[in-house]
Structure 1
Amino acid sequence: MAAVVLSTVFVLLAALVSKTGAWSVSCSNPYSQCYGQLQTCPANCAQWCEVDCTTCNVQCACDKPGAVCQDPRFIGGDGVMFYFHGEKDKDFCIVSDPALHINAHFIGKRGSGMTRDFTWVQSLGIMFGSRTLYIGAQTVGTWDNHVDALSLSFDGQPLLLPPRVNATLEFPDAGLQIVRVEGKNAVTVEVKGSFKLEAHVVPITKQESRIHNYDITAENCFAHLELNFQFFNLSTEVNGILGQTYVPGYKSPVKVGVPMPIMGGDESYVSSALFQTDCAVSKFGATPSGQTIRQAASASCGNARSGGLVCRR
């Protein structure tokens, strides 16, 4: 295994769950001054955070570029935060490029007196070349951290990944590697030279339901995916809800600075099924221009005092 550079190491260890439901995490790099020291995830990302082994600060994975979390809230490659609500029981293309297409299936429910659905990403349909990969959260009544609610399949065949940290599945002919980062409900998925993502299955907690009036019951905790993407060789034609934010010079149409900037244009991103590439902005299978773009420069994001999220390069 290649040596890791300390300045770039971000380590997630789901070590303990407190009575409040927050995870405790620590840095596993033995050369860090905070090696092994447990820290509690902040309240705004109680179920998924990371320790920067250089600064020893705890960071919310959902506040980094490439994040798709919550209702669902996106952090674009340009560092701008926005929401895209879509509709429950529909599929939307979040990335579409000549060699890569990613659809997300939304689940949700209509809140009392509301004109839109509360929605969350339940699964991904990923297409690269002629291969297909499914990552999904199983339907769960009452959440149990000791039960694995993650589903995986590759080219239509279910995958069984042992329930232990660092359990690995590799498919060299496809350049695909899947690794558990926790014993259950969390994996990293990488297609060499294309993308890497970390996926966590999480429930809607009682506290979240109370704060946002989700009215979640014991019959369905709406287990869903929280995600963070890195892309390595996108073309300048890339589109999709998230994908378009990586194009150089992209200007976000959302109103930056408000607590809930919303990306509209739902009809442009709807796909007819999870493994269909027929959304209006689809680029999959097109002849690329030959120009590629790398992962956007990293941005540091945090909650603004006046509400919303502020990201700076």
Structure 2
Amino acid sequence: MASSRKSMGVSILILLIIVQVAAAGDKSKSESGGSDKSGCKKVSCRHKEFKECHGQVHSCPAACPRTCKVDCGQCKPVCECDRPGAVCDDPRFIGGDGITFYFHGQKDRDFCLVSDTNLHINGHFIGKRGDGMKRDFTWVQSIGLLLDDHKLFIGAKKVAQWDDAIDQLAIAFDGEPVFLPNIEDAQWTSAASTFTITRSGRTNEIVVEAVNKFKITAKVVPIGKEESKIHNYGITDDDCFAHLDLSFRFYSLSGAVNGVLGQTYADNYKSRAKMGVKMPVLGGEREFLSSGLFATDCAAAQFKSTGRIIMEGGVDHHEELECKSSMNGRGIVCKK
């Protein structure tokens, strides 16, 4: 009997140890960016200068359960797509004035998003025509950015079946593909230190910064089956319409800046979108239509080129990209 009790005691002790180890494992995963019971992503402030907030773990809000970031100043999780300067979804813009509007454009065309004297950003739209629709469902697949004498391409590759673990970003600077290892915080800086590109996640998320000019967050996202069903997009298994969710912050725009998004930062701008409706739509397709991803010929263009921008040999969204894994599969290199 004593032997039986001793054996039972040992079993209980082993069970308690196993439970404690499992609990410690769950805590570690949570603090390193796992998910809570509702499936919402765990995020934390990673900037050490915010001492009171640094390292605190938060759950993403229900509105963006997998894509939020922590605003370290306010020490709370926020949806990047709900902040001024956001361009997300089909595509939904939040202007510099804080007003939300939609600009549908047309699939397979390029539109001027921002145009200022030394900065110009075009977006390439992809999409499909819904049944019985008079317009296309559209998303921003890539952007072409001109800053002074430099050009930057950021794009989402065409994907059939989505996998979060596979990087689907294509990046090129001044006509040369940019390689970033699939490691969070991996960083690339241009030789002239004009641009810095940093991975904000292991795959599909980057932050692009130009000192005293702008900060751009770009994330490749797919159209999921549930989302397609809700909005009647009609997405099929051969293309999940991977596209970019974008967030722009500008630091030195002029009062004459223009473009679909840029005009909302201009002096004396008044929104032309019809307010008080479910989807306030802004027109102006002809005003903002460009002949190419790096063209500055839209009617709203303000960009003054020096004529030294490298326009040849870059990654072009009209061409197929051949992409291979590198460094033992920890990154992606793309070429035409």
- TM-score, normalised to structure 1, is 0.82
* Mapping of residues 241-280 of structure 1, within 5 Å: 241-280=260-299
2:184 maps to 1:184: no
Mapped contact 1:194–1:232 kept (Cα < 8 A): yes
Identity of paired residues, percent? Answer: 50
Distance 1:261 1:151 in 2: 32
Mapped contact 2:36–2:59 kept (Cα < 8 A): no
Larger radius of gyration: 2
Q: Secondary structure at the match of 2:114?
A: strand
Query: After alignment, is 264-273 or 187-196 more displaced?
Result: 187-196
Which residue is equivalent to 2:148?
A: 129
Gapped regions of structure 1 (runs ≥ 5):
1-12, 288-313
* Mapping of residues 286-297 of structure 1, within 5 Å: none
Q: How far apart are residue 205 of structure 1 and its match?
A: 1.4
Q: How far apart are residue 34 of structure 1 and its match?
A: 8.1
Change over 3 Å in CA distance of 1:14–1:103 after alignment to 2: farther
Change over 3 Å in CA distance of 1:246–1:55 after alignment to 2: closer
Which residue is equivalent to 2:18?
A: none
Q: How far apart are residue 213 of structure 1 and its match?
A: 0.7
2:275 partner letter: V
Of 23, 32, 35 in structure 1, the residue corresponding to residue 52 of structure 2 is 32
Distance 1:24 1:251 in 2: 38
2:171 maps to 1:152: yes
Moved over 4 A (4+): 17-22
Mapped contact 1:47–1:202 kept (Cα < 8 A): no
Which residue is equivalent to 2:111?
A: 92
- TM-score, normalised to structure 2, is 0.77
Change over 3 Å in CA distance of 1:29–1:191 after alignment to 2: closer
2:209 maps to 1:209: no
Mapped contact 2:185–2:198 kept (Cα < 8 A): yes
Query: After alignment, is 50-59 or 113-122 more displaced?
Result: 50-59
Of 216, 237, 243 in structure 2, the residue corresponding to residue 224 of structure 1 is 243
Gapped regions of structure 2 (runs ≥ 5):
1-30, 307-336
Distance 1:249 1:148 in 2: 41
Q: Deviations over 1:200-247 (max 9, x none)?
A: 001111221111011112211100000100111111111000001001
Q: How far apart are residue 171 of structure 1 and its match?
A: 1.3
Change over 3 Å in CA distance of 1:262–1:172 after alignment to 2: same
Distance 2:73 2:190 in 1: 33
Q: Secondary structure at the match of 1:173?
A: coil
Change over 3 Å in CA distance of 1:51–1:220 after alignment to 2: same
Distance 1:17 1:222 in 2: 26
Change over 3 Å in CA distance of 1:275–1:286 after alignment to 2: closer
Distance 1:14 1:66 in 2: 29
Mapped contact 2:185–2:199 kept (Cα < 8 A): yes
Q: Deviations over 1:75-116 (max 9, x none)?
A: 000111000000000000000111000000000011111111
Of 57, 65, 83 in structure 1, the residue corresponding to residue 102 of structure 2 is 83
Which residue is equivalent to 2:76?
A: 57
Distance 1:52 1:15 in 2: 16
Change over 3 Å in CA distance of 1:19–1:153 after alignment to 2: farther
Q: Secondary structure at the match of 1:16?
A: coil
User: Which structure has the highest helix share of the two?
Assistant: 2
Change over 3 Å in CA distance of 1:132–1:19 after alignment to 2: farther
Q: Deviations over 1:11-49 (max 9, x none)?
A: xx992367987533233357336834241342x323421
User: Which structure has the highest strand share of the two?
Assistant: 1
Q: Deviations over 1:140-171 (max 9, x none)?
A: 00100000000100011111101111101011
Change over 3 Å in CA distance of 1:229–1:182 after alignment to 2: same
